[in-house]
Amino acid sequence: MKIKLFYFARLKEALKYSTEDLELPDESMTVLKLKAYLAKRGDVWGQMLMGKLKVRAAINHELVDDNAAIADGDEVAFFPPVTGG
């Protein structure tokens, strides 16, 4: 399946990516599985996505938790807890 990924704030800076198109193996995918998949890219990916920092995720602009399922064509975003207002 193909998804579009976005990274924001501290994650964007550390990973040096703001957005990417990603082709994933066609198997059941969740937010947690995607984090683990991306963490294999290297140290900084593991630290940012699977480390001590809190990471929040959105699928198609809706906040979701780690168990949320990801489908073909989804827009997935990873970012730190929000600090607006």
Partner 1 sequence: MTVRVQTEDFDVGFEINQFRKARNDIGAIVSFVGLVRDLNDGDAVSQLTLEHYPGMTEKSLAAIISQAKARWNIIEALIIHRVGTLQPSDQIVLVLVSSAHRGDAFAVCEFMMDYLKTEAPFWKKEATPQGEHWVEAKSADDVARERWNMKK
CB 24 to partner 1: min, Å = 21
- For the chain, give the number of residues: 85
Query: Residues 78, 5: contact at Cβ < 8 Å?
Result: yes
17 forms part of the interface with partner 1 (CB under 8 A): no
Interaction pattern, residues 34-73, with partner 1; x per rule: CB under 8 A: --------------------x---x--x-x----------
Nearest to residue 44, comparing CAs of 3, 74, 7?
A: 7
Pairing of strands 2-7, 75-79: parallel
- Which residue ranges make up the site for partner 1 (CB under 8 A)? 6, 8-10, 54, 58, 61, 63, 77, 79-85
